[in-house]
Structure 1
Amino acid sequence: MILQQYPAWIFFVELESPVSDLTVLQLEIDYIQLGSYVDWAFNTITGNIFNDNNGDCQFNSTDNPVKHSLVKALPGPYYAYTDENGFYELKVDTLNTSYTVSYTTDSEATLIEKICPASGMYSVSTPKGKSTYCCHDFAQKIKQCAVLKIDINSDRRRRCFKGFTYVNYQNVGNINSSQAQIKVVYPEFVKPISSTPAWTSKVGDTLYYTVGLVAPYSQQTITIIDSVICGIESIRSLTQCTQAMISPANACLYEDIDWNNSDVIVRGKCDMGIAKFTILNGGSGDMPDSTAFRVYTNDTLISTQKFALRSQEYFQVQLPAYGKVIRLEADQSANHPAFNTIPRVSLEGCVTNQALLQSAYKGIAMNTPLNNDFVSSTSCMQITDSYDPNDKAVFPVGQSERNYISAGTKLNYTIRFENTGSDDAYTVVVVDTLDSDLDASTFLAGSSSHSYSIKREVIDDREIVTFQFTDINLSPKKVDSIKSQGFIKFSISTRPDVANGMLIENEANIFFDYNSAIVTNKVSQTIGEYIEEKPELGSIVSKTPVNNITTGLTSKTNTKDLILLYPNPVSESITIKFPRETIESTINVYTIDGATVLTQRLGAVKESRIILQQLPQGIYYYSIADSSGLNQHGKIIKQ
C-alpha cells in the first residue's frame, strides 16, 4: 500500500544522567506516513503511452504522446496518470512482487487498437524494494479519423449577477477536422453578454461559432460572460440548462457498429403551460422494431407507449404541465452506440404566465442524467440569490429525498472555489477523496476555469485526486468578484455491482496557498431504483399521427406541383424552382427543435435563390407556403 508521503526528519534525543550535555542523533527518513507506519521500501514502475504512427512499437519523434491516461496496477489497485509527455510513474508496494499493469484512455474505444503489447497489459516482477522498473511502454494505433468532443460548464447562476460559461472543445482523433461549427443554446432567463473569441452570429438565444480547422490532439476554450436577468424574483431555484453542440458529427466512430442506423432524437418546449415534445428518427435507417417512450410528472411515471419510426419520421406528444416538471424519455433501437442510449428532455417552469412561476415546481430537472455525448454537452444549474463561495455539486442529483441513482450511473462533479481573502491567491489545490464505491477506471477530468495539473494516488484504500492550479492568481473577491472565482469538473461512474441502499458520498478540500483547508459541503446519493407510477394520470397525454419531414407534402400538393430545392446538401446558396409562376410565397427555415433561423419572401416568380452560407453545418427544415394553398416542407442539409 502506498501511503501519503511527507519528506521528514526524525530526531533522537539521548539524555544522560546527570545531564551534562545533550546529544542529538539526526537520521533522514525518505518518507513518513502520518498516523501509521513508515513505508520507505516502495517500488516504481515507469513507461510511456503513445500513438505509434510508424508501427515500430518504439517511442520516438514521429509518435504522439498520450497524456492524462490512467495506468493501473493490480493487486492494489495503484494508479498513476501520464503527464504532458505521455510518461507515467507508478508507485507500488513491496508486499507483492508481481503486478499486472494496464491502462485506459479517454479516447473513444472504437478508435484504438492496442498493439504493443497486444494484450494491453504487462506482468511486472518487483523482487527488490526501493527500485525502479523501467520502460513498460504501451503503443497504440488509432483509426484515421477526426473526433470532435465538446464540454460546457458554467460557474454560477446568480440572479442579476454576471458569470462565466466555458466551452471546451478538442479533436481527440488523429487527422484534421475542417469546417467545425459550434452552437451554444442559452435558456430563457440567462443572457450572453460577450465572449472570447467573439461569436460569429447570434440568432435569438443561440450563439454560432465558425471554428474552422481543429488540429489533432488540440484543445481550445470559448469563454462567455453571461448574466441571469433581474427583476423576476419567481425564477429563484429554477433550473436553467445551457447546451453546446459541435459539428460535423463523428461518423467514423460508428462505421463498424452493427445497428440499424436509426437515431431517436427528443426535443421539447413549453407553449403557454402546455409541454410539447417531438420524437424524431433523425438517423438514416428505419426502426424495424418498436421501442418505448415514457412521460413523467415530477418523477412520477404516468404514461408508457410504444413507437417505431422510419428514417426522418416524427410525431409529437403533449400534455398540460400544471406547473409541474414534465420529462419525456425514449429508448433507442438495439445496439445503438452507447453514447446516447436514453434521449430525454425535462421541461421545468412550464406555466401559462410568469406570475405562476412562484408556485411552480423547481429543481426536479436536476434529478436525472442528461444526453451528453461526444458532440453535445449540457450544463444545468439552479438560479440562486446567494451561494456558498466554495462548494461541490453533483449531477444528476438523484430522485426523491434520498437521491436515488442506479448502479453504474455516470456522475458529474463540479467543485467551485472563490478567493474571499484580502490578497491574491497564487496557487489553489483541490483534494478530492473518492468514495470507495466509485469505479476508478471511469474517472475522466473535465473542463475547468484555469489550467491545472492532476495527481492520482491511493491512501488507506481510498482513491485521492489532487488538482493543482499553479499561478492561478485569483483576485480577492472585494477587488474583482468575477476574477476571484474558479472551478474544476470531473466525471466518474459508480461501480455496476454496488448493492442497493449503499450511500455514495463525496466532498473536497480546497487549499488557497498555504492556508488551512476549506472543506466543501458533502453531496450524497443512494444506490437504488426509484419508481412511482400513476398510470391513471396518463389520459392527459396526447400523441399526434406520424409525419415525414423528408417529403412533407400536404394533401393539396400533387407530385407534379412539387417544388424543387437544389443543390441539397448545400454549402452557400440554394435554388428554389416552382412548377409554375406563383403568387407571392414565403419560405421559413428552422432548426430541429423549432427555432426559426430564416424567413424570406420569395415574390411572384418561378425561380428564386436564398443564401444559407451564414448557417452552421447541420440539418434544417423548411416550409414554403402561399395563399393559394400551396404548402410544402422538407429537409435541408447544410454542409
Structure 2
Amino acid sequence: MYFLENEKLYRSPDQGKTWISILGVEGIDLRIFPDGSLLILGRDGVFRSVDQGLNWSFVFPGGDLIANQILSDGFSTAFMFYPDPFGSGLIRSNDQGITWEKVDLLNGNGNLLFNANSGQACNNIASLFTASLTGEVYTSTNQGATFNVYLDLKYNLNALTISPAQKLYMLTIKNGLYRTRIATSSTKLLTGNVFDDANKNCVKDNGETELPKRIVKVENGSKINFAYTDAYGNFRFPIEQGDYQFNVPSSNSYWNSCIKSISASTYNLNDTLYIGLQALSKCPFMEVDIQAPFLRRCFESDIYVYYKNSGTIAAKDAYIDVALDTNFIYISSGKPVASINGNVYRFLIGDLEENTSGAFTIRIKVSCNTKLGDFHCAEAHIYPDTACNLSAHADIKTSALCLGDSIQLRIRNLGTAAMLGPKKWIAIDQSISNFKASTIASGLFVLDAGQEFNIKIPTASRVLFIAEQDDSNPYKQASRTEIVSCSANPVPGAPVSRIDNLDEGEPFISKFCLQVRGSFDPNDITGYPVGLSDRKYIDQTQELEYIIRFQNTGTDTAFNVRIANQIPINNLDLTTLSLGSSSHPYQLLIDPTGKLNFSFQNILLPDSAIDQKASHGFVSYKIKPIQKLGNGIKIENEAFIYFDFNDAVKTNKEFHTVGIPIQVKVINSTQVGKLQFNIQPNPMSQHAVINLINCDKYEKYFLSCQDLNKVTLWTKSFLSNTIQIERENLVPGMYLLSIRNAKQEQVAIDKLIVK
C-alpha cells in the first residue's frame, strides 16, 4: 500500500497500520502495476522502481514535457498529457513505463487542441478521455492515434476521472459534477496467479511457490487470448461477457495444468484466480540456445549461450559442450572453460534448480581465410540430456557422404521402435529458387528400429536433404542435412566442401549456421530455417526460430529500447513460445492479443559512430505453427523497434509457407546399395510389372505390399529380376511395396498407386 502527500511517498507493509517514508524520490503522481512496479511523476521526470521503492531508475526526462499526472489502464499501458504552446501533447508507454514515445494528437481535421489543465482519464481498456479548449470531451480507443468527440457538456471542465465501475466523472468549473449513465468499458480486470501445486489439489496452500514467466491460455468460446505471469507468478486479464477457461500449457510433458473455468457475470473480481501446475514426473528438462547476431571475416563476434531447466527438479552437475566452427578462433568467454577437446569447449554449470536459467557469452574471431558468403556453424549441447518416461519411438536422422561425382544420402532410424508409417524425403538444389526445378530427388521411406535407407544423387553446389520425422517421435522435427561444394572438380573460389547436420529438434541441442557478410540491415527479423525456394517452404511441424536484431544508428546513446512484435496467433501457437538468447537482459510483457513487448531498460546502447560493435543488440525465440495448419498458408512476422522517444523503426516482414510440396518420383526413386526397382505402369489398373535393376539373379527376394497403416496385405517370393503383380482386392489408393533379401533385410521400398 502506498500514499503520496505533498510530493512525499510513503509505503505501508501492514495494510495501513504503519507507514514508512520512501527517501530518494519526490513526486506529484503515482501509478502501481500488477507486478508491483511503481511509476512516480516528479518535477524532474518519471522514475520507476521494481523493489517497493528501495531503488529507482530514471525512465523519462522532465523539461518541456512535464505532465501533471500519469494515466494507466492498470495493466501495462501508461499515458501522460503534457502542456505545449498549442494546448497539449501525449506521451505513451506500452511496457509499464520502461520506454516512452510521443503521439501526434490528430482527428480528421488535423491537430486537436486539448486543455492540459482540464483533466484527463483512462479506463481499463486504455481508452483515453480528455477535454478540449472549447469544452468537448474527446475519446481515443486506439491509444491516442486518433480522437473523436465522446460528448459535449457545454461547460468548461476542471477534472475528469474514471470510477472502479468504469463510469466517467466530469467536474465542471461552475456547474457541478456529472457522470455518464453507462460504463465506458464493459471489461473487468481479473487477477490471477500460477503456482506449483505440490499436493495436487488445485488449491493454493501455504508454502506452495509461485511460477514466473508462464503463458496462460484463455479461451472464451472460439476466441483465444493469452496472459503472462510476472516475477511473482501474477497475471491480469480483461474479461467481458461469457464463460472463460484458463490453463497453463507446458513446454514438456512433466507438468499438468489445473483448469479453471469462470463466468464473467458472476465472478468476484476481488478474488484471485489461482491456477496450479502439477509435477507429473520428477525430472529435469534441460534446454539450450546458441546464437550470434552476425559474422564478419577478420572481426571479433560474440556468441550467446542461454540455458534453462524447465523440469520439476534440479539438474545435478549440469554442463554445456560448445562445438565451434574450425574458422572460429576462440578468444574469451564469460564462463571459464573447463576442458577443450579439439574444437569442443566444455562449460560447467553445476546444479541448476528447476525454473531457473542462465547465460554467458563466447568471444570469437572469424578467420580471415573465410570468404564472403561462406556459412559457419556452432552447436551447443547441454547435459544431462536424458528424458524421463519416454515411450518407444522412432528417431529419424539424416546424413550424407560426398563421393566426388555423386552424393550418398542416408536416413537412419536411431530410435527404439519401428516407424508408424511411410514418410517423405527430398533433396533440393538451394542455388535454384524455383522449387520444382530445384528438386533433385525425392521419395518415401519406412524403417524399423536400427534400419537405414541409402540413395545416391547427382552433385550440386549446395544441397539440402530433408527427411520427415515419424509421428511417434516426441519432438516431431524433420531431419535436415546440408551438403556444400561436393564435387570431383571444385570450381575455383567455391566455398570449402562441408556437410552439416542441422537438426535441433531436441531441446538440449541448439545450432546456428550464419553466412559471413560484409554489410546488412541493422534492424531486421529473420526466421530459421530459411525455408525452401523463394516461397520459403517449411514442414507443417517445423519449429521456427526468430531473431530480431537492432542497432543504434543515431547520434547519441540509446538509454531504453523496446521491441513490439505481434505474433500471428491464427498461424503460430503462442503456448509453444520458448525464449532464447539475447544480447542484453530484458523484461517481457505479453498482451492478450499475443503481442510481445521486449523492453531493454537502461541498455545504454552506444551509437554506431562511437562503438560499432557495442551498438548492436538482438533477441530470439522459438515457436511452432498451430497444429494441422493447412498447406500453402503463409506465416508472416514483423517487428517495430523503439529507441528512446524516437519513432518506431519497422523491420522487414519475414514469411514462411507451410507444407513442402514434395512430388514423390515413383520411378527409380528408391535405391539401397546397387539395388533399384521400378514399377510399370504406375499408377496401375489391373496389373503391373516390377523390374529389379542390378540385383543378384541367384538370390531369393520377398516382395510385400502394405497399406499406409503399415498392415501387410500380401507377400510374394521370387528369384528372377522381374515379377508381375495383380490388383486382386486392392482398392484405389496408395500402397507401399518393399523388397527384402533372404536375410529378411529391407533393401528397397517404393510406392504403388492403384487407380
TM, length-normalised to structure 2: 0.60
Distance across 2 between alignment mates of 1:513 and 1:81: 25
Distance across 2 between alignment mates of 1:403 and 1:397: 6
Is the 1:302–1:537 Cα contact (8 Å) retained in structure 2?
Answer: no
Is the 2:374–2:495 Cα contact (8 Å) retained in structure 1?
Answer: no
DSSP-derived class of the 2:614 partner: helix
5+ long unaligned stretches in structure 1 = 17-21, 33-37, 546-639
2:243 pairs with 1:104: no
Matches within 5 A, 1:484-499: 484-496=615-627, 498-499=629-630
Match of 2:645 in 1: 514
2:533 pairs with 1:400: yes
Distance across 1 between alignment mates of 2:250 and 2:317: 24
Q: Which amino acid in 1 is paired with 2:355?
A: Y
Distance across 1 between alignment mates of 2:160 and 2:554: 39
Distance across 2 between alignment mates of 1:44 and 1:452: 26
2:511 pairs with 1:378: yes
Match of 2:233 in 1: 86
Q: Deviations over 1:40-76 (max 9, x none)?
A: 4431111211112244644356323222212233324
Match of 1:205 in 2: 343
Match of 1:481 in 2: 612
Match of 1:335 in 2: 472
2:216 pairs with 1:71: yes
Distance across 1 between alignment mates of 2:577 and 2:478: 21
Match of 2:482 in 1: 346
Q: Which amino acid in 2 is paired with 1:64?
A: T
Match of 1:420 in 2: 553
Quote the offset at 1:412 in angstroms. 1.6
Of the three residues 625, 640, 654, the one matched with 1:523 is 654
Q: Which amino acid in 2 is paired with 1:491?
A: K
Q: Which amino acid in 1 is paired with 2:605?
A: L
Of the three residues 427, 440, 465, the one matched with 1:296 is 427
Distance across 2 between alignment mates of 1:160 and 1:198: 24
Quote the offset at 1:346 in angstroms. 1.8
Match of 1:443 in 2: 577
Q: Deviations over 1:211-240 (max 9, x none)?
A: 33222222121311123322443xx33333
Q: Deviations over 1:492-523 (max 9, x none)?
A: 33334544444322211111122211111111
Deviates more, 1:291-300 or 1:479-488: 291-300
2:289 pairs with 1:151: yes
Quote the offset at 1:289 in angstroms. 7.6
- Paired residues in the alignment total 509
DSSP-derived class of the 1:136 partner: strand
Structure 1 478/537 Cα, relative in aligned 2: closer, same or farther at 3 Å?
farther
Distance across 1 between alignment mates of 2:418 and 2:541: 27
Matches within 5 A, 1:149-188: 149-188=287-326
5+ long unaligned stretches in structure 2 = 1-72, 82-119, 121-129, 137-154, 168-182, 430-437, 676-755
Q: Which amino acid in 1 is paired with 2:325?
A: P
Q: Which amino acid in 2 is paired with 1:517?
A: A
2:133 pairs with 1:13: yes
Structure 1 395/174 Cα, relative in aligned 2: closer, same or farther at 3 Å?
same
Is the 1:184–1:242 Cα contact (8 Å) retained in structure 2?
Answer: yes
Distance across 2 between alignment mates of 1:282 and 1:497: 26
Quote the offset at 1:292 in angstroms. 5.7
Structure 1 352/106 Cα, relative in aligned 2: closer, same or farther at 3 Å?
farther
Match of 2:274 in 1: 137
Match of 2:695 in 1: none
Is the 1:53–1:62 Cα contact (8 Å) retained in structure 2?
Answer: no
Structure 1 280/15 Cα, relative in aligned 2: closer, same or farther at 3 Å?
closer
Structure 1 444/343 Cα, relative in aligned 2: closer, same or farther at 3 Å?
same
Q: Which amino acid in 2 is paired with 1:383?
A: V
Deviates more, 1:527-536 or 1:241-250: 527-536
Match of 1:472 in 2: 603
2:366 pairs with 1:242: no
Distance across 1 between alignment mates of 2:641 and 2:77: 19
Q: Percent identity?
A: 25
Q: Which amino acid in 1 is paired with 2:584?
A: H
DSSP-derived class of the 2:231 partner: coil
Q: Deviations over 1:403-443 (max 9, x none)?
A: 23355543221101112233322211000123343333333
Alignment RMSD, CA only?
3.9
Matches within 5 A, 1:172-321: 172-233=310-371, 236-254=372-390, 257=391, 259=392, 261-268=393-400, 275=407, 279-283=411-415, 285=416, 287=418, 294-298=425-429, 300-304=439-443, 306=445, 308=447, 310-311=449-450, 321=459
Is the 1:397–1:403 Cα contact (8 Å) retained in structure 2?
Answer: yes
DSSP-derived class of the 1:483 partner: helix
Q: Which amino acid in 2 is paired with 1:513?
A: D
Structure 1 210/340 Cα, relative in aligned 2: closer, same or farther at 3 Å?
farther
DSSP-derived class of the 2:531 partner: coil
DSSP-derived class of the 2:601 partner: strand
Is the 2:563–2:599 Cα contact (8 Å) retained in structure 1?
Answer: yes
DSSP-derived class of the 1:450 partner: coil
DSSP-derived class of the 2:641 partner: strand
Distance across 2 between alignment mates of 1:4 and 1:88: 11
Match of 2:190 in 1: 45
DSSP-derived class of the 1:246 partner: strand
2:272 pairs with 1:125: no
Distance across 2 between alignment mates of 1:502 and 1:328: 20
Q: Deviations over 1:463-511 (max 9, x none)?
A: 4211111122222223333322211112233334544444322211111
Structure 1 448/288 Cα, relative in aligned 2: closer, same or farther at 3 Å?
closer
Quote the offset at 1:392 in angstroms. 0.6
Is the 2:443–2:665 Cα contact (8 Å) retained in structure 1?
Answer: no
Distance across 1 between alignment mates of 2:401 and 2:560: 44
Distance across 2 between alignment mates of 1:153 and 1:59: 38
Deviates more, 1:319-328 or 1:514-523: 319-328
Match of 1:562 in 2: none
Structure 1 44/23 Cα, relative in aligned 2: closer, same or farther at 3 Å?
closer
Q: Which amino acid in 2 is paired with 1:68?
A: K
Distance across 2 between alignment mates of 1:15 and 1:447: 52
Quote the offset at 1:156 in angstroms. 1.0
Q: Deviations over 1:175-234 (max 9, x none)?
A: 22223232222334444332221322223332223333222222121311123322443x
Distance across 2 between alignment mates of 1:150 and 1:524: 25
Distance across 1 between alignment mates of 2:502 and 2:414: 21
Q: Deviations over 1:529-576 (max 9, x none)?
A: 43356677869x76499xxxxxxxxxxxxxxxxxxxxxxxxxxxxxxx
Distance across 2 between alignment mates of 1:301 and 1:418: 40
Distance across 2 between alignment mates of 1:325 and 1:381: 16
Quote the offset at 1:166 in angstroms. 1.4
DSSP-derived class of the 2:602 partner: strand
Structure index of larger Rg: 2
Structure 1 219/522 Cα, relative in aligned 2: closer, same or farther at 3 Å?
same
DSSP-derived class of the 2:325 partner: coil
- Per chain length, whose mean CA-contact separation is higher, i.e. which structure has more relative contact order (CA < 8 Å, sep 6+)? 1
DSSP-derived class of the 1:477 partner: coil
